[in-house]
Amino acid sequence: MQAPLWRRVSILAALALSAFIFNTTENLPIGLLSLISDDLGVSLPSAGFLVTGYGLTVAVVSLPLAAVTQRIPRRYVLTALLAILVISTLASVLIASYPLLFGARVVTAIAQALFWAVLGPTAVGLFPRERRGRVIAVMSVCGSLATVLGVPAGTWLAQHSSWQTPFLVITLLGLVALVIVAVLLPTTRPEESHGAFGSHPDTWRFAIVIATTVLSVTGMFAGFTYITEFLTKLTGYTEASVGGMLFVFGAAGTAGVVAVGPLLDRLPRGSLLLTVGLQGVSLLMLGLFPGNKILVVVMLGLLGFSAAPVFMATQARILRVAPGRTEIGFAANSAGFNVGVAAGSLIGGLLLSPFDARAGFLVGAALTALSVALLLVDPLLPARPERLVGGEPTVPVGAAE
């Protein structure tokens, strides 16, 4: 028997708030690097490693943590993860030492790695199966708001007080989410949820999804990592205008998540192909026409509109094709995403010296085209016969999408 609607909606709101908090925590130092560097007496690159180290930690520990916790009720797991978030973030406020701050960030990253693995199955399990895509969309919208709202607001708050202040706000918000999840989330075995298993399990299609994530994210960050260099040196915008350009990108990203979300239940494969395809077009146009100021703004908006929903669309696809537990699938996708961020940044940096910032966008477009090719192969794969997963019958893999 399902819990009352008010209870399920309250839990969903707390989980969405948690997604916003984790994403804000991960990216907040980007806007605070100089403040942290000056206050703690470390170099700017050292302060920047607070972000890099965070992402690498998530990439490394996602799969192992998902594997060892897959039998623990999600109420206990999520309560523990949010408690870790609150404690480690509070430590970021109280500690005036770079090594201890870095350690607190690593602990938070470990919690985030498992959080993204269990968030999707837990959230979709609260509602009927046919609403899976919409639930994933809600999580993704709140996660993307971290870029548009959380990081800019935290940066502004830090500039008018101290870099510790936004972390204190995050601590308080995390405490609210912690209490709601601890009190209202039912204590059930994870495998009892329909979100625990893929509805159309298929190993090859799952591999295509993970490869799409890695290739498309690598392509995206091969260019976007050096967007400031691109805008100032090639397009001719001033450094003061870069913030406005990034806001265009972030706002378009949120709009893209909102627009694509309703398509996930009806067109799970088509929505992923659409977003990756548009990303490839925008990267190519930016690489070919870096001197056209108006076109650059339009394409930067299209890049945000298309790139932001890619992770959401791959998550929705995993709910269909994961060959085993979806937590493992989500963890693999999260690890792939972070590998793509690191690889894309590395490729973009290596191309910058012998060429210029446009090279990263052109190589990124080529990598994205490879992911499009993989997605076009997907429907050509043969459907497999119906089988049982977790005691529930699944329809043939080739069923209507």
- The answer as to whether 232 is a domain residue is yes
- The answer as to whether 337 is a domain residue is yes
Same domain, 281 and 160: no
Same domain, 36 and 84: yes
DSSP character for 255?
A: H
Sign of the CA dihedral running 235, 236, 239, 242: negative
- Share in percent of the chain as helix, strand, coil (round to 5): 80, 0, 15
Same domain, 124 and 9: yes
Two structure tokens written together for 60:
């490394």
Tokens 């993989």 — which residue? 374
Which residues, listed in sequence order, are joined to residue 197 by a DSSP beta bridge? 325
Q: Which of 359, 335, 117, 339 is nearest to 215 (CA)?
A: 339
Say if residues 372 and 273 touch (Cβ distance below 8 Å).
Answer: yes
> Phi-psi region for residue 98, left (φ > 0), alpha (ψ -120 to 50) or beta?
alpha
- The answer as to whether 390 is a domain residue is no
Say if residues 327 and 118 touch (Cβ distance below 8 Å).
Answer: yes
Which residue range forms the structural domain that includes residue 169? 5-195
Tell me how far the alpha carbon of residue 138 is from its chain's centroid: 13
- The answer as to whether 401 is a domain residue is no
Q: How are beta strands 387-389 and 392-394 bridged, if at all?
A: antiparallel
Find the DSSP H helices in 292-396: 293-321, 326-352, 357-377
Two structure tokens written together for 323:
């060959």
Instruction: Note down pLDDT in tens along the chain; length 401 residues.
Output: 567 888 989 999 999 999 999 988 887 876 677 788 888 888 866 777 787 788 788 888 888 998 888 888 889 999 999 999 999 999 888 877 888 888 998 999 999 989 988 888 888 888 887 787 788 888 888 887 887 788 888 888 888 888 899 999 999 999 999 999 999 998 877 666 666 677 788 889 999 999 999 999 999 988 887 887 888 889 888 877 877 887 888 889 889 988 888 888 788 788 999 999 999 999 999 999 999 999 999 999 999 999 888 988 998 888 888 888 888 888 888 888 888 887 888 888 888 888 888 999 999 999 999 999 999 998 888 865 444 444 444 444 444 34
Q: Which of 23, 22, 25, 16 is nearest to 167 (CA)?
A: 25
Same domain, 172 and 254: no
Same domain, 277 and 312: yes
Q: What is the pLDDT of residue 176?
A: 96
What backbone torsions phi and psi does residue 281 show, to the nearest 5 degrees?
-60, -45
User: What is residue 235's three-state secondary structure?
Assistant: helix
Cβ-based neighbour number of residue 95 at 10 Å? 16
Which residues, listed in sequence order, are joined to residue 389 by a DSSP beta bridge? 392
CA distance 229 to 260: 30
Tokens 């669309």 — which residue? 313
Q: What is the pLDDT of residue 250?
A: 82
Of 151, 174, 195, the one marking the end of a domain is: 195
User: What is residue 282's three-state secondary structure?
Assistant: helix
Task: Count the alpha carbons within 13 Å of 358 in the hemisphere toward its beta carbon.
Answer: 13
CA distance 301 to 253: 8
Two structure tokens written together for 328:
């493992």
Cβ-based neighbour number of residue 327 at 10 Å? 29
Of 195, 212, 235, the one marking the end of a domain is: 195
Of 176, 195, 214, the one marking the end of a domain is: 195
CA distance 286 to 283: 5
Tokens 């119906």 — which residue? 386
Q: Which of 268, 288, 253 is nearest to 366 (CA)?
A: 288
Same domain, 231 and 364: yes
Q: In the chain, how many domains are there?
A: 2
End-to-end CA distance of the chain: 29
CA distance 334 to 322: 14
Same domain, 364 and 276: yes
Same domain, 81 and 93: yes
User: What is residue 226's three-state secondary structure?
Assistant: coil
- The answer as to whether 242 is a domain residue is yes
